[in-house]
């Protein structure tokens, strides 16, 4: 990898306005708390282009703000080059993973592509972060809980990776 960071992580969902910006913001916040911000680069993208250039959905901004987290960035489309640029590419659900597998097949990148919730310590058989876009506000709280506990577990994983 060519960047100054040791590790890089890309969150990917469909629109890049609800789930993946939250993943990006929560992970960045937890890394900041661990003093790892300079060592780990975090970004997010979408498999669909409908919201390109837009800020995160106000409902994601709201749930993040209630937990003291600021969401940054504008929606962008995931690209083939992301598989070269990032070490971890996280799909928020199975449909995102299928789309990303296709894109990965067009690349010769070395990113580790997986479902984000593969790192969730509370697994119940379904590893999707459900799409909250068309649901009520409860969906955003549930999403926050899932994303936050999975980020906590992933930070533990990174801590051991960075110490070896």
Q: Which residues are catalytic?
A: 13, 19, 131
- Compute the least distance from the CB of residue 99 to ligand 4NP, in Å: 11
Q: Which is nearer to ligand 4NP, 97 or 158 (CB)?
A: 97
Phi (first) and psi of residue 126, to 5 degrees: -110, 120
**Rule CB under 6 A: is residue 24 a binding residue for ligand 4NP?**
no
What does the buried/exposed string (b/e) look like for 48-58 if buried means 16 or more CB atoms within 10 Å of the residue's CB?
Answer: beebeeeebbe
Q: What is the DSSP string of 138-159?
A: HHHHHHHHHHHHHHHHHHHHHH
The CA angle 152-158-162, to the nearest 5 degrees, is: 150
**Contact between 73 and ligand 4NP per CB under 6 A:** no
Q: Does 97 bind ligand 4NP (CB under 6 A)?
A: no
In the list 15, 28, 44, 71, the residue contacting ligand 4NP (rule: CB under 6 A) is 15
Choices 13-21, 27-35, 103-111, 149-157; region in contact with ligand 4NP by CB under 6 A: 13-21
Q: How far is the CB of 162 from ligand 4NP (least distance, A)?
A: 28
Within 10 angstroms of residue 121's Cβ, the number of other Cβ atoms is 10
Q: With binding defined as CB under 6 A, does residue 131 bind ligand 4NP?
A: yes
Query: Rounded to an integer, what distance in angstroms lies between the CA atom of residue 107 and that of residue 130?
Result: 27
Task: Report CA Rg, the chain.
Answer: 15
Chain residues in the site for ligand 4NP (CB under 6 A): 13-19, 50-51, 131, 133
């Amino acid at each position: 990898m060519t960047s100054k960071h040791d590790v890089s992580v890309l969150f990917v969902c469909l629109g890049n306005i609800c789930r993946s910006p939250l993943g990006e913001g929560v992970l960045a916040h937890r890394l900041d708390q661990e003093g790892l911000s300079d060592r780990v680069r975090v970004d997010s993208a979408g498999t669909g282009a409908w919201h390109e250039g837009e800020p995160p959905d106000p409902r994601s901004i709201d749930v993040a703000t209630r937990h003291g987290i600021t969401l940054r960035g504008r929606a962008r489309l995931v690209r083939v080059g992301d598989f070269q640029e990032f070490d971890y590419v996280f799909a928020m659900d199975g449909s995102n993973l299928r789309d990303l597998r296709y894109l990965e097949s067009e690349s010769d990148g070395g990113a580790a592509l997986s479902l984000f919730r593969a790192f969730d310590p509370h697994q119940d058989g379904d590893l999707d972060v459900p799409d909250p876009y068309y649901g009520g506000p409860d969906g955003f709280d549930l999403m926050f809980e899932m994303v936050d506990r999975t980020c906590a577990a992933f930070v533990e994983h990174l801590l051991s990776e960075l110490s070896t």
